[in-house]
Chain A
Amino acid sequence: MTATLNTETDSTTQSAAGEMESKPQELHLRSETAAPELARERGAVLRGVSERDAALDLNDYDIELGDETMIINMGPQHPSTHGVLRVMMELRGEQVLRTKPVIGYLHTGMEKTAETLTFNQGGTNVTRMDYLSPFCNELTFSLAVEKLLAVEIPERATWIRMLMAELNRMASHLLFQATNGMDLGAVGMMIYGWREREELLTFFEKVTGLRMNHNYIRPGGVAVDLPDGWQQDVLDICDLVEPRLDQYDTLLTGQPIYRDRTMGVGVITAEEAIALSATGPILRGTGVAWDLRKDQPYLFYDQVEFDVIVGTQGDAFDRYAIRLNEIRESARIVRQIVDLMPPGDYRSQNKKITPPPRSRIDESMEALIHHFKLMTEGFRVPAGEVYVATESPRGELGCYLVSDGGAKPYRMHWRGPSFVNLQSMPTMMQGAMIADAIAVISSVDPVLGEVDR
């Protein structure tokens, strides 16, 4: 009898272990989870830097909870997990005990795909990763390719890139305002955020012909010059958006319910954020003024005036306020760019990477052949490897590019800020309630296209 019981126990343990093996990404019962894993799910940073970690006793996790807890699955089809993020949580009543983000539902193998596309075609691929800030993806990719090529980009092209990147930052943060408001129950914000973003998308469409996935910033410059009257368009957008932000202040920032819902929720300290490699608003929310635009200036960010917004508490409200004020800062940068924009070429005149203009193709056989070669074979990039990072709306967006001297990347890897920021989520959810979990997911503002790539 005893033997039978033992066998049964063994078989259940085995099947549990087997299940664990087959679904290593998911959250499992406490009895089936190893202590370090359990600690991570509880929010430990495990780098020995955090006071919270030091206070954590791994033995504490063996507390007898019996069947008082419930493992709940939030996503991948859930109204507030921003696409296909799946968060598994262990709940005791309303309280969240453990959290585990499960990712991969949108994996399309973009990094692998890049190896089959020429450097010229690469833009169409990478622009689809963080679909809320496509210009930033294109920019980072182009900068990486240009660094390998060691070509000079005309000044005007660089200013245009900066303009588009900043407008994109505004669009992305406006979308955050929309989704954040909706996640916390202020459904009106959903529409207001989209409404303002719409103005920006209309401008993007006017410039690039597309509302998303533009492939506008390309190695060597940008696809086309800005349309006539762009200055007025851009200034109109700034004039429109800035007063609307004050309306957001009235609707959310000063709203007591909103403050109660976000202040002190999803707190993360500077040490923890750094240990978890969090960047962007999450890191700045803790008071660390880390902004690549200031700290490792690229493009002409050292020639414009803007402030890095930081918080002090590292809570959801700080992250909200930072994003709100970053829209204002971006508008400030955009206004300066309108004044500073020089005349000149919008793309490099280096014939190695830039195809001849359309008019030359009609009159010169060489130009036609050259154009054809560039479009089919692409241009060759000297062998080497390079890492280029820019400040995307979500944090440090890095592109690691290896070339073997051919026309296609040998290897491409991205440091997606959404992906890296996601791992700080269990830490932020320590001691949270279900409603806080939503606020935290919202304040991380992940784009799953970039997380899964």
Chain B
Amino acid sequence: MMALLAQVTDAGDPLFEKGVKLFSTVMLIVLIKAVLAFVILLVAVLLMVWFERKVISDMQDRIGPNRAGPWGLLQTLADGTKLFFKETLFPERADKAVFRLAPYLSAVPAFLTFAVIPVGGVVHWFGHTWNLQLADPPIGVLFSLAISSIAVYGIMLAGWSSGSKYPLIGSVRATAQMVSYEAAMGLAVATVVLKSSSLRTGTIVAQQVGTAHIGRLSLGWISGWNIIALGFVPAIIFAIAGTAELNRPPFDLVEAESELVGGFHTEYASARFAFFYLAEFMNTITMSALIITLFLGGPLGPDTGIWGLGRLSPVWFLAKLLVLLFCYVWIRGTLPRFRYDQLMDLGWKKLIPAALFWLLVIATIRLGGSTGDKLLHFAVAIPVVAIGVWVLVTAMRRGRERTDAKNAAMAAKTLTTGRPGRF
């Protein structure tokens, strides 16, 4: 068991230890991994669309797709096929080259991010030892951030090149939204990197193995997760910023159906629209996978004892993924949409300061820990944390007071002669 973990902590994929030759089993394995990742991701999107539609319709007292295939499982396939056979339309004023390019700029990065996600541990198959991960570059986290920034171009250029007003507004919103939330996201990721001292996703996962237990009940597999080890704040900030990055409700201002009709993809039809749709759902899956990798211990879990995967198992990865995806659907089914300025306020005035503050706290603690200077540790870390807690508590109290005052005012204002307002 520990040997397995040690192997994960090792820099890089053990597959490449003996060098890489053209036309070797190693190359074949890499190729198979790439094709598998591609196919799995595509199938996952098909299932995700179905899952979202089914869960949403359950929440809304509807049946949802139930015509194509068992339980409507093939509905997405049918929709996709239909879209690919439809006529491609170009708006008269569109910038054709960019208009053609944009969907690919959106869809390709969606595939790429998944390459650095560890979906399982190390396996010994086909005479080689290798990671259940397409690639584990030393800059894995940076890579995912960079790729998600490129995806902004797809949306931005799509709106701009349509030569139409609603998409233009959508693309302006997209640019502002994604750029500002990327900052908060980056700061949240920085805390993880500080703790793991590595940008390699494999290492980040390996760092999250915990040892805590209550009596004989081992909690080892959960206590080391970054969501707990880093004090929840970065994980929450990352999840919120990630949702905004995905343009999912309540941050779906970019396509806001009731305001901008379709936002950036209003003018798109047929396969090009399908690419945007594909990218959106694929990004949802990748973002959930990224949250799992960074904060929820990746594929870490109790020993499954199957396929020699030990505590690192795709089963746990999949379970966590499903929980997160359900949460995304749940949020979509519940919350109203933010307004543009409120979105900016949340990003710049709340998330970024909070992320920055938490980064400082973690850095201080790390500094105290690494220098071994207990005095520095206590002299700096404790006041900083104390101030932080005080600010948080004061803010919460203020907020509560304001809400109470608001509620009181609201109750007073609903002058239903003698009948108290119900707010």
Query: Given that A257-B250, A321-B423 are contacting pairs, would A307 and B416 also be in contact in the complex, using a CB cutoff of 8 Å?
Result: yes
Instruction: Assess whether A433 is interfacial by the CB under 8 Å rule.
Output: yes
**Is B419's CB within 8 Å of the partner chain A?**
yes
Contact status B61-A435, CB under 8 Å:
no
**Contact across chains for B258 and A70 when beta carbons are under 8 A apart:** no
Structural contact, B336 and A252, CB atoms closer than 8 A: yes
Docked complex Cα distance between A308 and B62 (Å): 35
A260 is an interface residue with CB less than 8 A from chain B? yes
Option from A191, A260, A321, A435 in Cβ contact (under 8 Å) with B414: A321
The one of B336, B340, B421, B422 in contact with A433, judged by C-beta atoms closer than 8 angstroms, is: B340
Complex-state Cα separation, A328 to B421, whole angstroms = 12
Kindly identify, within residues 58 to 107 of chain A, every residue whose CB is under 8 Å from any CB belonging to chain B.
70, 72-73, 78-80, 91, 93-94
Residues from chain A with a CB closer than 8 A to the CB of B169 are 72, 91, 94, 434
Please name the residue on chain A nearest to B166 by beta carbon: A72
Question: Known contacts being A185-B337, A192-B60, A260-B339, is A93 close to B261, with CB within 8 Å?
Answer: no
The contact string, 1 if C-beta is below 8 Å from chain B, for chain A 302-340, is 000001111111000000010001001100000000000
On chain A, the residues within 8 Å of B332 by CB distance are: 187
A254 CB–B CB distance under 8 Å = yes
Minimum CB distance partner of A191 in chain B: B60
Rounded to whole Å, the gap between the CB of B220 and the closest CB of chain A is 38
Instruction: Tell me if A349 counts as interface (CB < 8 A to partner B).
Output: no
Stretch at the interface among A118-126, A176-184, A414-422: A176-184
- A309 nearest CB neighbor, chain B only: B416
Q: Could you say which of B56, B338, B416 has the most chain A C-beta atoms within 10 Å of its C-beta? A: B416
- Chain B interface residue count, CB cutoff 8 Å, equals 41
B333 at the interface (CB under 8 A from A): yes
CB distance from B31 to the nearest CB of A (A): 43
Q: Tell whether, in the assembled complex, residue B419 and residue A185 are in contact, meaning their CB atoms are under 8 Å apart.
A: no
Give the distance to chain B from A95, nearest Cβ to Cβ, in Å. Answer: 10
Contact, CB under 8 Å: A435 / B337: yes
Residues of A within 8 A of B333 (CB): 187-188
Chain A residue at minimum C-beta to C-beta distance from B419: A307
Q: Does B370 contact A (CB under 8 A)?
A: no
Asked if B21 is at the interface (CB within 8 A of a chain A CB), the reply is: no
Q: Give Cα distance in the complex from A434 to B165, angstroms.
A: 13
Partner of A251, one of B334, B338, B413: B334
What is the total of A-B residue contacts with beta carbons within 8 Å?
A: 116
Q: Across the interface, do B338 and A257 meet the contact criterion of CB distance under 8 Å?
A: yes
Docked-complex contact A258 and B336, CB < 8 angstroms: yes
Partner of B252, one of A72, A185, A190, A433: A185
| Contact of A255 with B by CB under 8 A | yes
Beta-carbon contact of B258 and A183 below 8 Å? yes
CB proximity of A308 to chain B, nearest CB, Å? 8
Residue B59 CB within 8 A of the other chain: yes
In the assembled complex, the CB of B413 is this many whole angstroms from the nearest CB of chain A, namely: 4
Selected from A72, A310, A438, the residue in CB contact (under 8 A) with B415 is A310
* Contact between chains at B62 and A191 (CB < 8 Å): yes
List A residues 359-382 near B (Cβ within 8 Å).
Answer: none
Q: Which residue of A lies closest to B340 (CB)?
A: A94
Q: How far is the CA of A306 from the CA of B165 in the complex (A)?
A: 48
Nearest 7 CB-CB pairings of A with B: A185-B337, A191-B60, A312-B413, A80-B258, A186-B336, A307-B416, A435-B339
Chain A residues within 8 Å of B, Cβ to Cβ: 70, 72-73, 78-80, 91, 93-94, 181-188, 190-192, 195, 246, 249, 251-255, 257-258, 260-261, 289, 307-313, 321, 325, 328-329, 433-436, 438
